[in-house]
Amino acid sequence: MAFGQPRIEFKNNAQMRTMHEAGLVLSQALDAAAAAAAPGVTTKHLDDVFAAVLSDAGAKSNFLGYHGFPATICTSVNDEVVHGIPGGRVLQDGDIISIDGGAIVNGWHSDSARTVIVGTADPEDQRLSDVTQAAMWRGIAALATGTHVGDIGAAIDDYVSSVPGKPLGILEDYVGHGIGSEMHMAPDVLNYRTNHRGPKIKPGLCLAIEPMLVRGGIETAVLEDDWTVVTTDGKRSCQWEHSVAVHDKGIWVLSAPDGGAEHLVPLGVTPVPIP
């Protein structure tokens, strides 16, 4: 099945520990950017806040200059799904914004995103964000309990379709990915169930797991800036993402200070630090 597909880069423990360092800097930078997201603040300000944390830590941005991307984070507001460019847009009360960033330490990458609702949350937006985040954690748990990468998308899909109330859509145009000496590597990590089981889960596999959910249809379009992806029906969207390592003793969420314990233990998975 791997015929013609790029090889997966399997990492040793030392390499994964360096990725963890990159993930911890990233987590702090996202904390700062998320805390700064408030009505009246520009998305450019969030980029400045994020960039300052990376710079203070001596880490580099993997977003800045990536295929010409001009900032250290993507800020995607409301109907913007992913890849929004920080700029003069002023956040309004009730906006839902996903902040996606990454950091490099000694050549090893991390990638993580979270969604923030600015000021007063529309309950349906809050639900969208809560379900997307919970879906991400189920996908991460499946990396620990599953045998193949396809188990992640199956777990995300099964969870999202089991949530009572108005159905939410899972985007298919954008997917998670392997990560390591580059930000985007093999394999693709789909957020939905397919007939393909995908590659085997083995120690040294590091993945960015990033479900993107929408309140409406899953069709997307790219704006004239050649970056910003929007829903074609204008409905709101949401993204959560973590970088996760598989090692021979278990999994560890590289971009969460507790390795993901708070959210994984209730799902029956106890993260184990990289030996």
List contacts with Mg ion (CB under 5 A): 100, 111, 113, 208, 210, 241
Instruction: Name the residue nearer to Mg ion (CB basis): 47 or 100.
Output: 100
Q: How far is the CB of 166 from Mg ion (least distance, A)?
A: 27
Q: How far is the CB of 87 from Mg ion (least distance, A)?
A: 19
Instruction: Name the residue nearer to Mg ion (CB basis): 125 or 241.
Output: 241
Instruction: Name the residue nearer to Mg ion (CB basis): 138 or 177.
Output: 177
- Residue 7: how many CB atoms within 10 A of its CB? 11
Burial pattern 16-31, b for ≥16 Cβ within 10 A else e, equals bbbbbbbbbbbbbbbe
Cα separation, 218 vs 270, in Å, equals 33
Phi, psi of 85 (to 5 degrees): -95, 125
Using alpha carbons, list the distances in angstroms from residue 147 to 15, 141, 201, 252.
23, 12, 5, 16
Cα separation, 217 vs 170, in Å, equals 9
Q: Residue 5 corresponds to which tokens in the numbers above? A: 């597909």
Q: How far is the CB of 93 from Mg ion (least distance, A)?
A: 26
Q: How far is the CB of 123 from Mg ion (least distance, A)?
A: 27
3-state secondary structure of 187: strand
Instruction: Name the residue nearer to Mg ion (CB basis): 31 or 122.
Output: 31
Q: How far is the CB of 89 from Mg ion (least distance, A)?
A: 19
68: left (phi over 0), alpha (psi -120 to 50) or beta: left
Q: Residue 131 corresponds to which tokens in the numbers above? A: 């379900």
Instruction: Name the residue nearer to Mg ion (CB basis): 186 or 272.
Output: 186
Q: How far is the CB of 46 from Mg ion (least distance, A)?
A: 15
Q: How far is the CB of 55 from Mg ion (least distance, A)?
A: 19
Instruction: Name the residue nearer to Mg ion (CB basis): 94 or 184.
Output: 184
Instruction: Name the residue nearer to Mg ion (CB basis): 225 or 248.
Output: 225
Q: How far is the CB of 70 from Mg ion (least distance, A)?
A: 16
Write out the E strands in 53-205. Answer: 73-77, 80-82, 96-105, 108-117, 169-170, 176-178, 185-189
Instruction: Name the residue nearer to Mg ion (CB basis): 68 or 164.
Output: 68
Q: Name 208's bridge partners.
A: 177, 243
Q: Residue 274 corresponds to which tokens in the numbers above? A: 């990289």
How are beta strands 108-117 and 237-239 bridged, if at all?
unpaired
